[in-house]
Amino acid sequence: MPAPHALLLDFDGLLADYDHRRFLQVLATAAGVESPQLDAVLRGQSLELAHARGALAGGALLEALNDALGSTLQAKDWLAARRAASTPRRDCIALLGRIPGHVRVAVLTNNGALTLPLIAQLLPDIRVLGSAQLGMRKPDPAAYQAACEMLGCPPSRTLFVDHLFRNVQGARAAGLLADTAYHAQSLRRLLRRHHLLD
């Protein structure tokens, strides 16, 4: 099996642990409301999903939240909440530093534009492709094809790794090499199988 020319990786659940309850708590505190009230607006009005799809810009999302909650949330509040809820998996991230330099490495995440700067901060040497940029989310096969186009690498020579099998299935439907990994050990094993680690 020839080594892939590009590697696409999930963020939440593979390269970082994410605590959504913690995110809601911190953002709700900044908004001066309770977590359930914030959650009801984010999910009940589909604001978070629209933002993740790129249909709602970050500023528009914050404006809608502030209108509904009577708050004055800013982008820095969202980032602070996301940072508090995200714990990088240093052992998984360290493996990426061992990938051969000619392999294009990027994150493919279903996060919206407000969260992408944090991922870029946590992974300063890795390109971050968000669903908001692509206009579609995993596991839509078109999302993976669009990511491959942005990387300039054909799907057949791109390896995608995610902790959710439904996302792996979407990648396979798009013609990518794809498999699941849940921690550093399984990621290391997968990268070695595809000749990306010695």
Q: What is the tens place of the pLDDT at every residue in 56-68?
A: 999 999 999 999 9
Name the one residue in this structure whose structure tokens are 């094809």: 145
Report the distance separating Cα 36 and Cα 24, nearest Å. 8
Region of 159 please: left (phi>0), alpha (psi -120 to 50) or beta: beta
Predicted pLDDT at 45: 87
Least confident of 13-17, 48-52, 153-157, 174-178: 48-52
Name, in order, each residue with C-beta under 8 angstroms of 51's C-beta and a sequence gap of 6 or more: 57, 58, 61, 112, 113, 114, 132
Task: Calculate ∠ Cα 33-39-43, nearest 5°.
Answer: 145
SS3 content of the chain, % helix, strand, coil (to 5): 50, 15, 35
Name, in order, each residue with C-beta under 8 angstroms of 156's C-beta and a sequence gap of 6 or more: 175, 176, 177
Nearest-Å Rg of the Cα atoms of the chain is 17
* Ordered structural domains, the chain, with CATH: 6-17+87-193 (3.40.50.1000), 20-85 (1.10.150.240)
Residue 145 to residues 49, 94, 133, 158, Cα–Cα distance (Å): 21, 27, 13, 10
pTM of the model: 0.92
Predicted pLDDT at 152: 95
Structure letter (DSSP) for residue 12: B
Structure letter (DSSP) for residue 11: S
Report the distance separating Cα 164 and Cα 156, nearest Å. 20
pLDDT tens digits, 72-120: 999 999 999 999 999 999 999 999 999 999 999 999 999 999 999 999 9
